[in-house]
Structure 1
Amino acid sequence: MEISATNGSVPTGNQHAVGNFGSREWLVEFFESSGPVGFDVNEALELFAASCKVPPLPDGTIWKFTANQFRKFFATTHQWRYFFPDLPSLNYQLQQRDMNTTASYTKMQHAAAMRLNDTRNARQVNDGPLKAALERGLDMRDAELQFMKDLILEVHSGKIKAAGGGASMFREFEEALARQIDILSSSEGAVINGVLSEFVEGRHLTTHPEGGNLCKCGSSLGDKSVAGCLDAAAEDGLSVEHATGPDYSYATRETCFGCPNAIRLNILMPYWDAAYEKVSEASKSTDPFVREASKESLNVIASARSEFQ
């Protein structure tokens, strides 16, 4: 019998797991001779936390773990992992070949749910598919915002260095923080979290699938008007009027390098080092077209590598 993570109690007794993991949509499958087995993930988490003796919070209450918290944690962790393109774990979880396909689908489903429900009541949606789509969209957005906050703080502290046209975002944050400190005559520690939360609202930050750049292009006219990949798509005859972000099918290494939305980080240098070796090999090709293209690409790669030297 199959277990869905919805209602019921934690399985006990003679129930045992069967089948191959991942062969069905269920995380775990159990067989129970008496009939279907119910399984409540949140109840199981509560029992597990109790068995681990999770200490109480400062106010004496016990933190209530939920599956949704783990989804958000996984999504935020994945954003950091997604600096590089080898993502079998996430693709397996989402059953998608391409992260952009997944993100686009989630955004569309999320938008449909939001159109049918007022924002403040969004999490009270009763329709199953719409609620699931809404939660996926909200989780992805929460993860994106947390990723931006973490990265801005890392750059602010000097632990990570940023370059590229999109690095202006970090300078804008420093200016916003300085203004707030001046206005309130407060210390940085007293205002930084509030400034950070307000600063990231309405902003976007995604990772190029190849792993060399971050992109701050969102759906605003300002972002889209300077996006190199959208310019390239338009030159190819495609309509970009309703684009909601970058078009990675036109976001080549050369196009992104000069784009005002692109951000490069010193911790991404392994990508550029590997690209240099790969393109250097291609530059030895007997095909003159390949050699010429490689020369242009090597110039861009060399420029990127020199930014943090």
Structure 2
Amino acid sequence: MRLLYFFIFFAALLLFGAQCASAPVSEISAPSDNISSPEDISAPVADIETLPVPSVAEPQPTNATNFSSPQPIIQRSRANDVILFGYVRDSKTNQPFANAFVNLYFEEEYLSRISVPLRTDASGRYELKQLPSNDPFPYPSGRYTIWAAPPNELELERVNYQTYSAEGVVIDASKTQQFDILIFNTTMTEPMPDAIFYGHVTDAASGAPIPDPMVYVYLKNKIGNIRADANAGGFYQFVASNSAHRTITQSQIDFFWIAPPPSLANQYQILNQPFTADMAGKREIDFYLEPK
């Protein structure tokens, strides 16, 4: 049965092919001569009207946050303005130190690399001027450590002098401030007339003076400390003519911190002495370090 269906399908396919082959092919007419070439087209081409470019409106100000360059956090003075000046003198003779060394160190952690070396002139004066306006790192306001030393010419005599150091000195870069420095003459044995208070640091057991003691005063509600001048005889003093000492009043004293020099650090204990009522009003206050 399947073979019969195949023959019928094959016969139908042959018949359809024969009919397609006998059909007449239509003639393709030649192109008309009436179509003009492009050069013969006389109709004008319409002009293309130039359309105006729409204007873009300028953006209007809004209340959005302005993300321009941030304003400086710390105010500064104008370029070349004197921010800080002062005089460096001998604490015993009050004579000025010409060509003495003065260094300022910025204490804030994020700018702790700032170090400014200065020298005094013939009158013992030093000054710190603000940097030019195009400098990216002007001197900022904040707390500084001020260090000073006699000039090189006195190097052989430096055994008679201590280098000066004052911590936590507040400098306002928008103002001009004066800060005088007394380099302590270690040959002094008596307090200066303007001594705020003074005294001796001795061995609590033997009574012998402790040479070059480190005597600091800590003030209430203040950051930092103030160091006294001291000498090889165990004598120390805080004097009003020293700008760092001038801010001390007995009502502000919280406690004293007294330590031996580094060379004797293994021999004596450090003393933390609170400022007590029996010290009030006294100018002479002695301290005693216990041997280890």
TM range (shorter): under 0.3
Structure (1 or 2) with the larger CA radius of gyration: 2
Structure having the larger proportion of residues in helix: 1
Using the size of structure 2 for normalisation, the TM-score is 0.24
